[in-house]
Amino acid sequence: MPSKKTRKQSMVWIATAESVQMRGGELRELDVNQIGGNVNLFLGQMGTILKDTPDKLGPFQFVEFEVHADISAEGQIILLGTGGKVGASGGIKFVFRRQPITK
């Protein structure tokens, strides 16, 4: 059985709620390694989305792409669209910034 210290380092508390209208919800402990794996999966998916984006959009330069995601009660990283039901949100902010173009 893991020691108390090891257990604390390997688990994180997530507050959950079924919908925006619901107050309260519950606290759930999730494995840090599971969330870490899901973050890496999400980052890989964002990399696939961003790899073919243009450097310039007309007279504008595409420098930064900001994404806000939530962690589900099961530890999944979820990119939220509009029109869906959203639970209580703390969220994670990911900012993808292009490397400066060297000449």
Q: Render pLDDT for 75-93 as a digit per residue (tens, 0 to 9).
A: 888 887 665 555 545 678 8
Boundaries of domain holding 9 = 4-97
In a domain, 26, yes or no: yes
Given 3-state DSSP classes, what are the helix, strand and coil percentages for the chain, each rounded to the nearest 5?
Answer: 25, 30, 45
Contacts 24+ apart (CB under 8 A), 29-32: 30/71, 30/74, 30/75, 31/75
In a domain, 103, yes or no: no
pLDDT digit string, tens, across residues 1-27: 455 556 667 777 776 655 444 455 678
In a domain, 53, yes or no: yes
- Joined tokens for residue 59: 């007279």
Q: What is the pTM of this model?
A: 0.68
**How many domains, the chain?**
1
In a domain, 49, yes or no: yes
Tokens 């292009």 sit at which residue?
98
In a domain, 13, yes or no: yes
